[in-house]
Structure 1
Amino acid sequence: MVWLPNQQIGRVKRTRIWAGAFLCLLFFMLATPKFPSSRESHLFADLRNFFGVPNTLNVLSNFPFLIAGVMGFVLTLQGIFFNISFRGEVWGWALFYAGITGVAFGSAYYHLKPDDDRVMWDTLPMMIAYASLFSSLLAERVDAKIGLSCLIALVSVSFLSMIYARTFNDFRLCMTFQLIPTIAIPVVTFLFPPKYTHSRCWLYATGFYLLAKFEAAADRKIYSKTHYIISGHSLEHLCSAIVPVLLSVMLMYRDTKFQRYVIFLCHV
């Protein structure tokens, strides 16, 4: 008799959360100006051509995404090396690494000839990856069912945001969607206790993601400061690729805190 009211309360809370998120999104769309794509947004500092590959370093610097994404995806599905407890977590992490793999191909394809038609192949896989990552965090810290429902909802929002951007030439939703993890992940990390050890890797990964965004914004300045050896955008790719590597190390070495506590009591 107690379980049914608790389940209903949980549904009411989830409904309020989604309603609040929708109202915040509606307010953001009404309060902020349109952010259209422009020709300048596709002009990067490093335009060098090596071995017949246009924008060579911006293309090749996506290779670490491929390695980290494929290895993480395989290890997630194997279920041996990564400590993942629930099926909802498996779906979230598998889709995260699939998105990282998609970033490798999509970003390389975009940087071969940057324009409005190709930018979606660079942006969409990244949005899917970080939507899946945040859903995995919710499954770990809050509830597995909430994480799975957020995974479906956020991935759907990723596609809808890209459709909106392509239809109305307004990238506000896409830009916001990529910045949300930098705020939401630390907030969830501090509000909800960790189920696993090595939880600081979440904050380390967020730090590298923020650093990557700074490097992208300082593309030309970094290119000149390094005496035209490497640009900020290429460094952004390399720095962003550290995020899945850090999280893979976390998944390999983390342990369930409850299990560790039980083992301690058995020894006592």
Structure 2
Amino acid sequence: MTWRTGVLLALLVVAVTAAALMPPWPQNPAYHAFADQRLLLGVPHFWNVVSNIAFIGAGLFGLALWREVDWRARPGRWGWLVVGTGGVLTGIGSAYYHIAPDNQTLYWDRLPMAILFMGIFSIAIGERISARAGSRLLAPLVLLGAASVEVWRQGELAAAGAGDLRFYGLVQYYPMLALALILLMYPARNEGGRHWWGMLGLYSGAKLAELSDAAVYGVSAGLVSGHVLKHVLGGAALAVLFGGLRSAQVGSGSPGGAGPPRN
């Protein structure tokens, strides 16, 4: 085990321990009370619904690019497919949720999102640490992401408000923290790393916008809410990530030109 692997494992142990020591984390019912409640063109919560086109568009962009890449020369083929598909399904699931937001519909928002996070994490592992590890971890990570949402859902089915979000929170936040460390500790290869940092920056902005939903809505005099900005920035983060794949392909002069990392 290298010291870098040790750092990532230590962070995982700390994150798992912290989640285990926390009290159960139920879904706050107030979460569904978004700032922008406007009905337009017969669509409730119109802007929260239609802003998900950012995720769908980014996912479709990724899927179109996925078909063009020569995957014989580049790791992460199935991880990138999961991320592109996850982007489209996240947009669809989130739009469905926002039409009638409650804990039941929220499941279909969170399920593809958790899978999307795990796909991104497996790609980062494959590109920066080990192509073999990234490939082998993809399926277990995707199953782990789906399981985290299902654990919360089963709690809700047992009793309203009894769902526990600790596992889901771990799945959402640990990979992004670990990704930042991976980018710092493992040098970029031919593809560079700006798209990864750009994705992380936009994702962080999306989380801040989500937490500032009502504040953004008030400051903008009702023009836009923080949650709408979350969707736009989240979709942009995904597009930037796929843009990095495209740039590496073009910059190398041939599809999949970036050499694979060590195994």
Given the two structures, how large is their TM-score scaled by the length of structure 2?
0.85
> Which residue of 107, 111, 114 corresponds with 1:124?
111
> Which residue of 158, 183, 202 corresponds with 1:189?
183
1:106-145 mapped onto 2 (5 Å cutoff) = 106-145=93-132
Residue 249 of structure 1 is matched in structure 2 by: 243
What letter corresponds to residue 85 of structure 1 in structure 2? A
Structure 1 position 248, deviation (Å): 1.9
Take 2:30 and 2:111, find their aligned partners in 1: how far apart are those partners? Answer: 20
Residue 39 of structure 2 is matched in structure 1 by: 49
RMSD over aligned Cα atoms: 2.6
Take 1:131 and 1:260, find their aligned partners in 2: how far apart are those partners? Answer: 22
Matched, 1:79 2:79: no
Q: Is the 8 A contact 1:77 1:94 kept in 2?
A: no
Matched, 1:161 2:151: no
Structure 1 position 24, deviation (Å): 4.4
In structure 2, the CA distance between the partners of 1:217 and 1:84, relative to structure 1 (3 Å rule), is farther
Q: Is the deviation greater in 50-59 or in 18-27? A: 18-27
What letter corresponds to residue 22 of structure 2 in structure 1? T
Residue 158 of structure 2 is matched in structure 1 by: none
In structure 2, the CA distance between the partners of 1:243 and 1:84, relative to structure 1 (3 Å rule), is farther
Residue 103 of structure 1 is matched in structure 2 by: 90
Residue 66 of structure 1 is matched in structure 2 by: 56
Residue 223 of structure 1 is matched in structure 2 by: 217
Matched, 1:203 2:197: yes
Structure 1 position 175, deviation (Å): 2.2
Take 1:100 and 1:208, find their aligned partners in 2: how far apart are those partners? Answer: 15
Q: What secondary structure does 2:26 align onto?
A: coil
Matched, 1:175 2:169: yes
Q: Which consecutive residues of structure 2, in runs of 5 or more, have no partner in the other structure?
A: 156-162
Q: What secondary structure does 1:211 align onto?
A: helix
Greater RCO (CA < 8 Å, at least 6 residues apart) = 2
Q: What secondary structure does 1:117 align onto?
A: helix
Q: What secondary structure does 2:76 align onto?
A: helix
Take 1:45 and 1:105, find their aligned partners in 2: how far apart are those partners? Answer: 21
Take 1:124 and 1:231, find their aligned partners in 2: how far apart are those partners? Answer: 24
In structure 2, the CA distance between the partners of 1:244 and 1:19, relative to structure 1 (3 Å rule), is closer
What letter corresponds to residue 120 of structure 2 in structure 1? L
Cα offsets for 1:109-155 (capped at 9, x unmatched): 00000001011111111111121111111111111110012211211
What letter corresponds to residue 181 of structure 1 in structure 2? P
Structure 1 position 27, deviation (Å): 1.8
Q: What secondary structure does 1:45 align onto?
A: coil
Q: Is the 8 A contact 2:79 2:135 kept in 1?
A: yes
Q: Is the 8 A contact 1:84 1:251 kept in 2?
A: no
Q: Which consecutive residues of structure 1, in runs of 5 or more, have no partner in the other structure?
A: 1-8, 262-268
Take 1:89 and 1:184, find their aligned partners in 2: how far apart are those partners? Answer: 18
> Which residue of 21, 30, 48 corresponds with 2:20?
30
Q: Is the 8 A contact 1:137 1:185 kept in 2?
A: yes
In structure 2, the CA distance between the partners of 1:249 and 1:84, relative to structure 1 (3 Å rule), is farther
Q: Is the 8 A contact 2:76 2:131 kept in 1?
A: yes
Structure 1 position 34, deviation (Å): 1.2
What letter corresponds to residue 173 of structure 2 in structure 1? L
Q: What secondary structure does 2:67 align onto?
A: helix
Take 2:231 and 2:182, find their aligned partners in 1: how far apart are those partners? Answer: 26
Structure 1 position 229, deviation (Å): 1.0
Matched, 1:235 2:229: yes
